[in-house]
Amino acid sequence: MSFFQQCIIQLFRFPNGHGALASPAPLSDNSGPPTEYPVPSLIKFLLLAGILAGLIYGGMIALVTFVEPQPREMIQLIPPARLNK
């Protein structure tokens, strides 16, 4: 498992040990103590959103830096009727 995958897993690991996203507790099982599935914190969400925004921004910077447009001549004919208006 790569370092990046381990970081993502740690980012979404909950205090109760579950590594999955939060889901509601089953309604039919009332025999044991109530099970909580805490929602990821706002800080984790903002961190993930910031990383994704940074990757997108970095991709745009890479396109601007490394892709050079090729200039070419463009010709568009205009009918004489449109020039006399």
> What pLDDT is recorded for position 40?
67
Is 73 within the bounds of a domain? Answer: no
- Counting residues of the chain whose pLDDT is more than 70, the rounded percentage is 61
Is 80 within the bounds of a domain? Answer: no
Q: What is the pLDDT of residues 55-85, one digit of tens each?
A: 999 999 999 999 998 999 999 888 888 887 6
Domain count, the chain: 1
Is 57 within the bounds of a domain? Answer: yes
Cα–Cα distance for residue pair 27/45, rounded to 1 Å: 28
- The more confidently predicted of residues 43 and 33 is 43
Does residue 18 have a pLDDT over 60?
no
Decide if 37 contacts 25 (C-beta within 8 A): yes
Closest CA to 25 of 40, 36, 12: 36
Is 14 within the bounds of a domain? Answer: no
CA angle 21-37-39, nearest 5°? 60
Is 63 within the bounds of a domain? Answer: yes
Cα–Cα distance for residue pair 36/53, rounded to 1 Å: 31
Is 13 within the bounds of a domain? Answer: no
Is 51 within the bounds of a domain? Answer: yes
> What pLDDT is recorded for position 32?
59
Looking at the whole model, is its pTM more than 0.95?
no
- The more confidently predicted of residues 1 and 81 is 81
Enter the DSSP assignment of 18.
-
Decide if 11 contacts 48 (C-beta within 8 A): yes
Is 12 within the bounds of a domain? Answer: no
The residue range of the domain holding 60 is: 39-67
